[in-house]
A and B are shown apart, each in its own frame.
Chain A
Amino acid sequence: MSWDDEFDLIRSYVKRRMRELERELESAFNFMYTFPLGAPPYGPSLDEPLHEIYLTDKECVVIIDVPLLDQTSITVEAEEGKLRIEGRTRRTIKANEIGYRLMEREISRYYKELSIPVECNVSEMSYSFRNGRIVIRMPKIEKT
Chain B
Amino acid sequence: MPQVKNEEEIEGVVFQEYDELELASPSFLVVGFPDAGLVGGISISHIIRELNPAEVGGIDIPRLSPPIVFVRDGEAKPPIKLFKKGNMLLVASEMPLPPGVIQMFSYALLEYARRRRVDYVIGITGLGIGERVNKERPLVYAAYSGEKIKKIIGEKKIQLFNEGAILGPFAIFLKEARRFRLDTIVLLAETFPELPDPEAASAAIEVLSKIIDTKISIEKLLEEAEYIRLRNKEIMKQTARMMSQVGKSAEAQPSLLYT
Residues of A in contact with B (beta carbons under 8 Å apart): 29-39, 44, 46, 49-52, 54-56, 61, 63, 65, 67-68, 93, 98-99, 107, 131-133, 135
Within 8 Å by CB of A132, from B64, B229, B241, lies B229
Indicate if the CB atoms of B195 and A34 lie closer than 8 Å: no
A-B CB contacts (within 8 Å), total count = 90
Known: A52-B195, A98-B231. 10 other contacts (CB 8 A): A33-B101, A34-B66, A35-B98, A36-B238, A36-B241, A46-B233, A61-B130, A63-B133, A98-B227, A132-B229
Complex interface: chain B residues within 8 A of A132 (CB): 225-226, 229
Q: Does B193 contact A (CB under 8 A)?
A: yes
Complex interface: chain A residues within 8 A of B63 (CB): 33
9 A-B pairs closest in CB distance: A32-B100, A54-B130, A67-B226, A33-B100, A98-B231, A67-B230, A67-B229, A132-B226, A65-B195
- Give chain B's interface residue range (CB within 8 Å of chain A): 20 to 34
Q: Does B199 contact A (CB under 8 A)?
A: yes
Indicate if the CB atoms of A63 and B192 lie closer than 8 Å: yes
- Tell me the dominant secondary structure on chain A's binding face: mixed
> Which of B96, B193, B226, B236: most chain A CB closer than 10 A?
B226
Complex interface: chain A residues within 8 A of B242 (CB): 36
Q: Does B234 contact A (CB under 8 A)?
A: yes
Q: Given contacts A44-B234, A93-B230, A98-B231, is CB(A33)–CB(B133) below 8 Å?
A: no
Complex interface: chain B residues within 8 A of A49 (CB): 233
Give per-residue flags for B175-214: 1 if the beta carbon is below 8 A from chain A beta carbons, else 0.
0000000000000000011111001000000000000000
Indicate if the CB atoms of B233 and A50 lie closer than 8 Å: yes
